[in-house]
Structure 1
Amino acid sequence: MGLVGRHELRALSARLSRWQKLALGLAVSFFVIYATAPYDGALRAFFRFQQSQATNFYQSQRPSDGWLYRRQRYPIDLDKEIGLIIKTGYGTKHRMPLALRALSNESFFPDTIVVQDFPVIPEQKRYNLTNGKEVDVIDILGWNLDRGALKGREHLERIYKYKNLREAVEAEEWVLSEGLGKAIGWELDAMKFLPALEYAWNTLPKKKWYIMVDDDTYVIKSTLSLLLGHLNFGRPHYLGNPVGDYKGRFPHGGSSVILSGATLRNLFEWSPEVVAQAHLESPYAIWGDKLLATSLMKIAVYLDETYRRFFNGEHPWMTRLWIDRLCLPIVGFHGLGDKQVMEQVGEIFKDQEGPVLWSSVPKIYGVPDYQTFMDVPIRPNMNYVGRLDEQSTTVEDVAKVEDCLDICDRHSTNCMAWVYDPNSKRCDFAPWSILGDLADGRFSGINGKLGKRLTDRCHARPGAALRRGR
């Protein structure tokens, strides 16, 4: 540092009070500690979580959808530039033909890989999308084990369980295989995430985006096109529906997980030691989606919660239509394991024009619109709230249903739906609504005024913007 620089520092120091010097010293110390902390350390995780919470609160207070309909800077061809990975297990393998057919209904034909926890059986060799495009099927646990990625872990209980299942399938002992598949499926699923992505990176390299879903998940093509066309695939992106505490936020696997090609490059080409360690940890992991998240944290790739409002972890009738996302598109649905439900969803959404907004789901399923709830606010034998959680509110000792309706009116900015039980005299309300569930003896309704006011603010969806994403 030159003489002039030293004089300026002395002059600045002389002007600062003792407390200002102390504050400056603490700020500099904190910056140094934070900058040198591990990427996956508790300090970084804590402040990252607080930042996400602040951003989430701001977005909930000022929801915006206008940016979606501006010119896309990174338009993509979904069929050529996306790698789709579908996870399945022996106990749920019957879902795969239905899931592939449902996705194909939207003319969605990406390069697709099915990863599973048992050897490929003869009928699986016929997996195709409806346009004839072949689907690669791989026993991902066998692949990972046979190539030595789990060396030194072969003696562990979970590996033994996988081997027992593999031997039963290879011996065509179908009853035993079915029992084992159902009993240990969740354990084996935790070991699929990292090797599934690594296999996809090896066999489908240079894709702009990679999407991982479960065999009971349905993704909406138009939403993917609209959202991903605004994101730079050349930068590390990691998107999904966040769950977990600040120590390890991770996207719920069933809601779908989206990663840019840059993320997989950084992980599998530039950080092989992180990948190797994650494989060795997988036989102990409870959740594979969390293991993926904590592995990415080590290379400074974190779940981006900015786009959390696009993701949904429920089937249509239990989907929560939150106040702060009505104008945004919905990525898809989860929990469609029932044959009839998956077929129905595939048929319903194959002819939808443009992105499917959260607010358009009720209309698609023939549920009364917000105006009808303004005209007839109380509906008997119904529940429009659904499952309660920490963000719902319960009021006890409510004398009659009209009082519950009044309570919702008094909380008009955060009550989207309410339900009243006359037997317990309990009133529940929440900042979301569902399509409606039968509930004998209860009364329920939706805040039609709030819903209409929010949806009236949604931006128009210009056709040109939609065409660019196709």
Structure 2
Amino acid sequence: MAISQATMAHVNMMTDTIIANLAPDGLRSVIRGILASDPDATPIFEKQTRSYLQKSTPKSLGPILNVDDTGRMIVTDDFISTQNRVRCMLGCGLCWNSLPILKNIIDRMVELNPSQQPSYSSKLLDVLNSVDGDIVQAVTALTKTLLHSNGSREFFEHERESLEELLESLKAGSSKWRQSGLPFPFERGLGALFKLLNTSNDECEPTRTPRLLNLKKKQNWPPTGIEIFELQGIKLPRLFCGLWQLSSPAWGSASHPNIINQFLQHVHAGLWAFDMADHYGDAEILFYDDPHYIDALCFLQEDNRVRALGLCNFDTEHMKNALDNGITIATNQVQFSLIDSRPTVKMAKVCQEYDIKLLTYGTLCGGFIADKWLGKPEPELFLDTITPSQRKVRQNLLEVIGQVIDVNYKYYEVICSWGGWTLFQELLHTLKQIAVKHGVSISNVATRWVLDFPYVGAVIVGVRMGIMRSTKVIFWNVNIPGPDIIPPTAKNILANLLNQSLERPLESKRASEIKARFFKVSIVHPPKFLTPTTPSSPSSSSSPSPSSTTTNDATYKSGPLDIAKCGDFPNAKDVQIIVKTGANEIYEKFPTQLLTELRCYDDLLVFSDLEQDVGPYHVYDALINVTDSVKQSSSDFDYYRLLQEYKETGQDIAALRPTSGSGAGWNLDKFKFLHMLEKTWALRPERKWYVFIEADTYLVRSNLLLWLQRLDPSKALYMGSPTNVNGDSFAHGGSGIILSGVALAKFAKDKPGIAPKYDEKLLSLAYGDQMLMKALADVGVDFTKVWPMLQAEKPSTIPFGAGPDSGTRHWCQPIVTMHHITSDEASAIWRFEQQRPDMQKPLLINELYSQFIAPRIRPSIDNWYNLSDDVIYTAPENPDPRNKPADQMSDLEKVAHKSFKDCGRACEEQPRCYQWVYFGDKCGFSHSYRFGRKRMPEDGVKYKSGFVLDKIEKDRKEHNCKSPQWLG
């Protein structure tokens, strides 16, 4: 397909308008779509890109880093632009042209001295690592160019000068960086250049990276809990780290030392098996077109130079053929997952007959089988948010062997062939049920499902070690669920949902037509996937349950559920629910409430700082009646006026959040309370109960209604979870505030127009819920504490059990509210409520522990803060107000601050200590058990938490709840 000069000279005006205005990510998506749908467009696109890059002159490179207004070091736009240009050159074959630009980048970086700039050395090293990766990619591209030129020396010598200049710049950088005492960051690039130029590197020997430690000689290795299997006398973990991502610059680049360090961290964690090849894709065809390779491998095995032979992507027919000809095979590496279960059909029988273990890849479908995709719409395949592994791409490959095969080998295509995105969401919902019950992730359950097959040796999980944007090391969670993670009943649910037919052939006809000697390559065209029939819709009003055995009970619609159990509560009509939120968060939090905890309420009142409509719900402006003098005198209302302006001019209010922040909305929040009370009475007078919550409050409806049935609405009741400020005790707004109709009437009915009288006072008060307490006290309504039924915590932070001396045992009380609940947490709690068989039975706090916390707790968790701060132990020279007096300490307590183990020993000695945390030189004890949250190292201080599981279990058994402990 040729383009004439006349054609290239004109672009349709409207098309040019689109190009000029389309957002960069949208433009990239469109280009990917064009190139994927029309193979002839690719060479045109590459040609035009090359022409542009060759004709345009790159800017001279300025500084690499600058200081922003806050004093932080940031990468300059010049550098980003220049590095992007280099990567474009490499992508379209201009590897030679990239060499002078790379040299320019190296020269600028050599001018920096990171040892004198500790405030930005970490950021600088990330930049240097990415440049090192670019050098390696350039050298790799040059090597391939030389292969295609048949190694022409004349061709090579023409550009040798540019290579040698780049090498000299790297040598100069090596010398300077070593003088600074830091490892040279361009080690891989330098080594690649030495190899290409066939030059001795004695004068600039790269820093040696540490070898993997012989951990088998260390005690307590491998760590307990790591499942292993035996392969030809070698013990291996059942999770392999897959390194396919290291084969492409698309995943980023990391320095050699960083890669080795990450390998070490995997090994220390008990994952000492790695899967890597020196090339991927169709490279085998280019170099290894020899049908006798299997004979050579058998000879090496017979000569004891190779212990075992493993296959990759062999179908059952060809694997059986090799076995029948006397070839001993240990493994076969194949794709195997919940949505590609072909190995269960014919291959399973052969594997069990010949004791062959499968090493499986694609088990998580390129990352699609994960919590992050639950409830998400079908992805736009050509946006940057989709990885190359996930994206559907069609290519023509294998022309070398005389056949053109239309290849669909990305994981989105697997989902489409299996049954489509809607059915895939059904599967994720089912997996989530099981995951929540056992305190694990969807990915954990999917991995466990594959590992449970007796002929599966290990699952290969991809590790993106090439991406080093921070000092975090991201690797697979080694806390694999045990073999009983998926009970037989749940497996039946999955089997019914998957609707797998054991009669279907494992391999496609097209694959079987390809010559056996090329089968390892041709498998990139996946055989036909098993396409399940769509499950029938739920017919029962009962909620899905992991213990159900029918398909319908495990099936969820992708839209709003119509099977929610609301229960029969006669007093529901007497209760008015009011939600207080803000325009800057309403679309982030309120929809989750509507889909979960609030879906059973027919009538809601919603107040915010902007009058608007959210679907069928009208949102009232709680600030409209604040006195004009306060609005004009307080700068807090600048944001309020800006909201009105954005609404009137039709602008995107969400865009205000990055500018104004949530703090701007929070400053206005205190003015909402009293006006909201007054407006609520005007809109819904004479209700028996009024329940005020916020957009991140979770309200347990059944417990609320059961509780209010027990209370007397004729009394003036003002109830909540207490918070204390400057001697005042008042109901915390985020935990929920409950007023009887009589109490609200005393304020809003008996004293009409009273709210504005408190506006001026609020200018000197920080909290609106504190002023609410004062205003109610002025009309004779006192505060009643109902904590912990109304709760400022959530399941991961509730102090379960005994608590400190002044506290109350969190255990047998019905839970009515929780605060700071995320969307994921709200969804999980609501589904748990739905699964409970009896809506009339109160949901107690101890059930939250059993459902959400107990499955997650382990003896110790790294990078974790479990909120243990009832007692703190520090070195004598670093006292803390929470320190126990030295004369009351035991010998173990006196050394508790020295290490994590010392802290744990001291905790185990103390009868009331259920868990501990160690950070820096501090040890913290807790008299309750609470899960906490992840906390990465801060300023070099690492957090590690421990739990005394036998004490916790003993305390749970000793405190069975005979009846609910209602308050109020």
What CA distance in whole angstroms lies between the structure 2 residues aligned with 1:136 and 1:79?
A: 21
Partner of 1:4: none
What CA distance in whole angstroms lies between the structure 1 residues aligned with 2:742 and 2:819?
A: 27
Deviations 1:197-232 (A, max 9, x none): 221112112222111111111111122133323221
Deviations 1:69-110 (A, max 9, x none): xxxxxx9745311111111111101121111111145xx315
Deviations 1:228-270 (A, max 9, x none): 2322121121221211246321222111111111110111123
- Picking from 328, 333, 344, the partner of 2:828 is 344
Cα 1:76/1:348, change in 2 over 3 Å: closer
2:866/2:945 contact within 8 Å kept? no
Partner-residue secondary structure (3-state), 2:592: helix
Deviation at 1:447?
A: 6.0
What CA distance in whole angstroms lies between the structure 2 residues aligned with 1:410 and 1:299?
A: 53
What CA distance in whole angstroms lies between the structure 1 residues aligned with 2:763 and 2:590?
A: 25
2:611/2:619 contact within 8 Å kept? no
Structure 1 residues without counterparts, runs of 5 or longer: 1-74, 128-134
- Picking from 223, 229, 235, the partner of 2:709 is 229
1:382/1:436 contact within 8 Å kept? no
Partner of 1:52: none
Partner of 1:102: 596
1:38-437 to structure 2, matched below 5 A, reads 77-94=570-587, 95-104=589-598, 108-109=600-601, 111-121=603-613, 124=614, 126-127=615-616, 135-142=617-624, 144-145=625-626, 150-157=627-634, 158-174=636-652, 177-178=656-657, 179-180=659-660, 182=662, 184-245=664-725, 247-272=727-752, 275-282=755-762, 285-305=765-785, 307-323=786-802, 324-336=809-821, 338-352=822-836, 353=838, 354-365=841-852, 367-368=854-855, 378-381=859-862, 383=864, 385-386=866-867, 388=869, 391-394=870-873, 396=875, 397-398=895-896, 399=898, 401=900, 403-413=902-912, 415-421=913-919, 424=921, 426-435=922-931, 437=933
Deviation at 1:166?
A: 1.0
Cα 1:410/1:311, change in 2 over 3 Å: farther
Cα 1:313/1:455, change in 2 over 3 Å: farther
Cα 1:162/1:402, change in 2 over 3 Å: closer
- Write the letter of the residue equivalent to 2:648: E
What CA distance in whole angstroms lies between the structure 2 residues aligned with 1:401 and 1:237?
A: 48
Partner-residue secondary structure (3-state), 2:710: coil
What CA distance in whole angstroms lies between the structure 1 residues aligned with 2:581 and 2:813?
A: 29
What CA distance in whole angstroms lies between the structure 1 residues aligned with 2:630 and 2:791?
A: 35
- Write the letter of the residue equivalent to 1:141: L
Deviations 1:338-387 (A, max 9, x none): 44443333333333343222221122126249xxx9xx8x4353757326
Cα 1:183/1:325, change in 2 over 3 Å: closer
What CA distance in whole angstroms lies between the structure 2 residues aligned with 1:380 and 1:177?
A: 39
Cα 1:446/1:192, change in 2 over 3 Å: farther
Partner-residue secondary structure (3-state), 2:584: helix
Cα 1:195/1:227, change in 2 over 3 Å: same
- Write the letter of the residue equivalent to 1:427: C
Query: Percent identity at matched positions?
Result: 23
Deviations 1:395-430 (A, max 9, x none): 5532555553453345424x3322245x63x32112
What CA distance in whole angstroms lies between the structure 2 residues aligned with 1:416 and 1:288?
A: 37
1:140/1:195 contact within 8 Å kept? yes
Partner-residue secondary structure (3-state), 2:796: helix
Cα 1:299/1:412, change in 2 over 3 Å: farther
Partner-residue secondary structure (3-state), 1:317: coil
Stretch of structure 1 that moved more, 433-442 or 228-237 = 433-442
| Equivalent pairs, count | 360
Partner-residue secondary structure (3-state), 1:259: strand
Deviations 1:165-192 (A, max 9, x none): 2122121122664444745201121111
Cα 1:387/1:285, change in 2 over 3 Å: farther
Cα 1:359/1:451, change in 2 over 3 Å: farther
Cα 1:443/1:165, change in 2 over 3 Å: closer
Partner-residue secondary structure (3-state), 2:619: strand
What CA distance in whole angstroms lies between the structure 2 residues aligned with 1:161 and 1:104?
A: 29
- Write the letter of the residue equivalent to 2:690: Y
Cα 1:379/1:184, change in 2 over 3 Å: closer
Of the two structures, which has the highest relative contact order with CA contacts closer than 8 Å and spacing of 6 or more?
1
- Write the letter of the residue equivalent to 1:102: T
Cα 1:366/1:445, change in 2 over 3 Å: closer
Cα 1:91/1:197, change in 2 over 3 Å: same
Deviations 1:104-149 (A, max 9, x none): 45xx31531110101315xx1x23xxxxxxx44212212x24xxxx
What CA distance in whole angstroms lies between the structure 2 residues aligned with 1:334 and 1:264?
A: 23
CA RMSD of aligned residues (A): 3.2
1:212/1:257 contact within 8 Å kept? yes
TM-score by length of 2: 0.34
What CA distance in whole angstroms lies between the structure 1 residues aligned with 2:597 and 2:644?
A: 29
Cα 1:188/1:443, change in 2 over 3 Å: closer
What CA distance in whole angstroms lies between the structure 1 residues aligned with 2:796 and 2:608?
A: 28
Cα 1:342/1:187, change in 2 over 3 Å: same
1:112/1:136 contact within 8 Å kept? no
- Write the letter of the residue equivalent to 1:308: W
Cα 1:443/1:193, change in 2 over 3 Å: closer
Partner of 1:460: 962
1:404/1:418 contact within 8 Å kept? yes
Deviation at 1:290?
A: 0.9
Partner of 2:340: none
TM-score by length of 1: 0.67
Cα 1:380/1:196, change in 2 over 3 Å: closer
Cα 1:361/1:341, change in 2 over 3 Å: closer
What CA distance in whole angstroms lies between the structure 2 residues aligned with 1:444 and 1:167?
A: 52
Cα 1:435/1:78, change in 2 over 3 Å: farther
What CA distance in whole angstroms lies between the structure 2 residues aligned with 1:227 and 1:325?
A: 17
2:718/2:784 contact within 8 Å kept? yes
2:791/2:816 contact within 8 Å kept? yes
